Structure 1
């Protein structure tokens, strides 16, 4: 295994995914759930994110080419999804989550586009494209991805300590703050996607 490549993949994806920054949003979405359901949501989100990143690492460019979809379009779609979630957080519609919604929360927005977002997908695809095709490099990239997802899972798994400290009132305040932050992330994603489209078509013209 190429330890240098492993380190590059691990550090790059860890910075992009930002596990500590995920905690407020995770707690805002799952803070009112029982501990068992919260843990399940965290595990499902990480498992989905790992699956999405691996799929795009293996066949991402081929899939996008087949669907005639550019990466900025994927980025813009992620931004729109996050705006919908941010509005729910800001208006308090997630204050009483149900068991039925636990898996939905884990899939969207936690699993994707927050954990397996455009940034993580593009970075992984670039690492694969830059590799020389050797088994050692593929193993290093795969190990880096798994290590990052394991780190995220550990952070989310032990976020329950914060729930006990904040209590319901603190969780409600955190939910509104997380909604505002999530809206800002969503707007930035859409702005970056629009800028990328403008540059793409300007260069093509």
Structure 2
């Protein structure tokens, strides 16, 4: 059974990577012109699809790596570097700019009914960072009981994302532009520290240190 510290670190990694406060204003832009019922439908569908995607990676991700001959140590190093880049983007406000650009492009290409799938579920919620973090954590939570715990943590973090989307209008007004910028940067610093820890663990595992 995973320790309390491991569980807390895993939950923090998932929560910071998914970044619910950062998704809220983008979700408002995606669903502009919709009423509250339609917006709730998009939020529910999008978070459910994202949860299914991340759960699939939590269950089968390590097996796919093994099939490809990629060690968990190597993936920890690569995933840690990717998460560090995402943290860098969060600190310097590049990630939200990229997400906003993605959402604008999607509205012109896809019908409004498909927004829950693209770009909300993929890649805004279940993006490369979230998928990498999930596979990395699946390597730590390798026992069946621990893997179930990881899926429960995914469900809990996805519930937090859903809550942020449902109250997106109020959250955006409460935080404001300054509040969002400060919170995103703080989360970015935290994610940078966690990503470095993934790299350190990966080096130890790869070189049997």
Same fold by TM (over 0.5)? yes
Q: Secondary structure at the match of 1:27?
A: helix
Distance 1:122 1:58 in 2: 12
Moved more, 152-161 or 100-109: 100-109
Q: Which residue of 2 aligns with 1:152?
A: 157
How many residues get paired? 188
**Aligned ranges for residues 133-172 of structure 1 at < 5 Å?**
138=144, 140-167=145-172, 170=175, 172=177
Unmatched segments (≥5 aa) in structure 2: 32-38, 108-114
Q: After the TM superposition, which residues 1-205 of structure 1 pair with which residues of structure 2 at under 5 Å, given as runs?
A: 5=1, 11-12=7-8, 13-18=10-15, 22-34=19-31, 35=39, 36-63=41-68, 65=70, 69-84=74-89, 86-89=93-96, 94=100, 97-98=103-104, 100=106, 102=115, 103-108=118-123, 110-118=125-133, 120-128=134-142, 131=143, 138=144, 140-167=145-172, 170=175, 172-181=177-186, 183-185=188-190, 187-188=192-193, 191-192=196-197
| 2:77–2:199 CA contact under 8 A, matched in 1 | yes
Per-residue deviation, 1:93: 7.2
Determine the C-alpha separation between the residues in 1 that align with 2:128 and 2:63.
18
Q: Indicate how the Cα distance of structure 1 residues 203 and 87 shifts in structure 2: closer, same or farther if over 3 A, else same.
A: same
Q: Give 1:116 deviation, angstroms.
A: 3.8
Which blocks of at least 5 consecutive residues in structure 1 are unaligned? 132-137
TM-score of the superposed pair, with normalisation by structure 2: 0.61
What TM-score do you get using the length of structure 1 for normalisation? Answer: 0.61
When residues 184 and 169 of structure 1 are mapped into structure 2, their CA distance, relative to the original with a 3 A threshold, is: same
Change beyond 3 A, Cα 1:167–1:153? closer
Flag the 1:79–1:45 CA change in 2: closer, same or farther, 3 A: farther
Q: In angstroms, what is the RMSD of aligned CA positions? A: 4.4
- Do 1:83 and 1:182's aligned partners in 2 also have CA atoms closer than 8 Å? no
